[in-house]
Amino acid sequence: MNHVPVREGSAKMAEIAMTVREVATYLNVNEKTVYRLAQKGDIPGFKVAGTWRFRREDIDRWIDDQKRAVGQPEGEK
């Protein structure tokens, strides 16, 4: 069997899967806001065993899309 070492797999997972709490902190919003956006499909996310997870690159792309929608230059966050 081909096994990935736990520490390497854990580090990779941390890079690609964020929790609701982590996304809320990243966006500086309440966790309930993240749940609401995810349930409505307004923010990109997926469920693992009934728990929401988010890829950082998807969140960053979503932020850029939101900025474009309001006409804000990409360099400003």
* Residue 36 within a domain: yes
Sign of CA dihedral 44, 46, 51, 55: negative
* Residue 55 within a domain: yes
Token readout for 35 is: 């749940």
Give me the number of domains the chain comprises.
1
Q: Are 77 and 28 in contact (CB under 8 A)?
A: no
Instruction: Give the DSSP letter of residue 7.
Output: H
CATH number at residue 24: 1.10.1660
Distance CA 58, CA 38 (A): 12
Q: What is the pLDDT along the chain (77 residues), one digit of tens a residue?
A: 444 444 455 555 556 799 999 999 999 999 999 999 999 999 999 999 999 999 999 999 999 999 998 886 666 55
Residue 49 belongs to domain spanning = 6-69
* Residue 76 within a domain: no
Instruction: Give the pLDDT of residue 70.
Output: 85
* Residue 74 within a domain: no
* Residue 54 within a domain: yes
* Residue 59 within a domain: yes
